[in-house]
Amino acid sequence: MTKEQVLEEFDKGYDCCQVVFRYWAEKLNMDTELAYKVSSGFGAGMFQGETCGAVIGAYMALGLKYGSTLPSPEGDEQRVESIIKDVEFREKFLQKYNSTMCRELMGADFATKEGAQKIKEEQKMITFCPQLVADIIDLIADII
């Protein structure tokens, strides 16, 4: 997915987590509407500047592909594989970006009036975020 395609999704009103998760959910045969719903509460670091919503969407996509449905001990082997994939993603992400925290990536905190204003003034949602989302989609492609 290109930066421009991500921006089109943002223009429709979807957030970073929704765009990442829906993209991979669709490829992994999950219903698109359900993917949007499940991932709807995680954008902008859960709207608190915490873990980046796009990063959360990546973990959700990896879980959809590699996660276990069985409890321990039956599901332990699959759980370990899932954790390995999560760690691989995080390492690749941190090679390109300095943090997984939204407020650190954005240089401001959505959860504060001042931070939200700074993000808006700097147009981070149309400059920085689409590229980050596109990069995450590409990083996951290398893992899935």
Q: Mind listing the pLDDT tens digit of every residue in the chain (144 residues)?
A: 888 999 999 999 999 999 999 999 999 999 999 999 999 999 988 988 899 999 999 999 999 999 999 998 998 999 999 999 999 999 999 999 999 999 999 999 988 999 999 999 999 999 999 999 999 999 999 999
**Mapping DSSP to helix (H, G, I), strand (E, B) and coil, where does residue 74 land?**
coil
Q: Each residue of 64-101: b (16+ CB within 10 Å) or e?
A: bbbbbeeeeeeeeeebeebeebbeebeebbeeeeeebe
Displacement of CA 68 from its chain's centroid (Å)? 20
Going by C-alpha positions, the residue among 55, 140, 60, 62 that lies closest to residue 103 is 55
Predicted model pTM: 0.94
